Structure 1
């Protein structure tokens, strides 16, 4: 069985997200987002380029949760698909990223996770796929807390 994949984008929210309703009452999240770009030079250094800006839309529960959790400037990772359409106001071809799932970019955002208590602790071990592989044990919370860059 193959791994199912979707398109993905990583960026930052360039506008304040908005929440509206579709004609049938479904929640609709909208925001403009930016993607940072850079170019590697011949000497190995990197040159920061201008970001590009795009439209993002999410619907239903993803829209409601996204509106609650995201703010302008937040860094995110999202999966979904690109939707191409013709704008009504000028007839020009346009595109937007339709989100199926999104969350904060853990490599660029510092945050705390609150988990709901579990009824019973299920066995979380995965089957071993190679000789010599040893499962890592979890460190106490204080030992594994480290600040992440933003």
Structure 2
């Protein structure tokens, strides 16, 4: 089976992110993003070229999560596609393009952050195949295991640097 790919964009959040809602009620994340460019010279050295700026948008629940997780100056990597657009303003046609992100994450090459590895649980959902319920773990190990019943405590996060990533 072929590997499916998407366009990607990496850079930094250049403006304060905004969360708004479409006419259909869907959440929309918007941020102006910057992309640094470099020129490589024959001797192997690099010179920073002019930074370019672009619009990045994301929709629905992912937009809400992005708004909670990203701030101005954060480095990111996004997967999605370029959406060209045009509209009329004062009798003139305005054209542009925006990057529509389907996935958005912090750039681990430029960001130190923590990862919460606790499982999200929905009410009434059985554990996935191969995952033993707490009672089975208690019987096998003789140790008491507490089921998570709410949001994980802050200490549940593990620094990425500590994971060797």
What TM-score do you get using the length of structure 1 for normalisation?
0.78
Question: Normalization by structure 2: what TM-score?
Answer: 0.71
| Residue 145 of structure 1: aligned partner | 162
In the TM superposition, residue 121 of structure 1 has moved relative to its aligned partner by 9.3
Counterparts of 2:128 and 2:85 in 1: how far apart (Å)?
48
For the aligned residues, what is the CA RMSD? 2.4
Q: Which has the larger radius of gyration?
A: 2
Could you list the per-position Cα deviations for residues 67-91 of structure 1 after superposition, in whole angstroms to 9, with x for gaps in the alignment? 0000000000000000001143341
Aligned to 1:11: 11
Q: Which runs of 5+ in 2 are unaligned?
A: 121-126, 132-157
Unaligned 5+ runs, structure 1? 124-140
Q: Between Structure 1 and Structure 2, how many residues are aligned?
A: 130
- Distance verdict in 2 for CA 1:81–1:117, change over 3 Å: closer
Q: Which moved more, 1:31-40 or 1:86-95?
A: 86-95
CA deviations on 1:46-72 (whole Å, 9 max, x unpaired) are: 001111000011000110000000000
The alignment partner of 1:113 has SS state of: strand
Higher helix share: 2
Q: Equivalent residue for 1:105?
A: 107
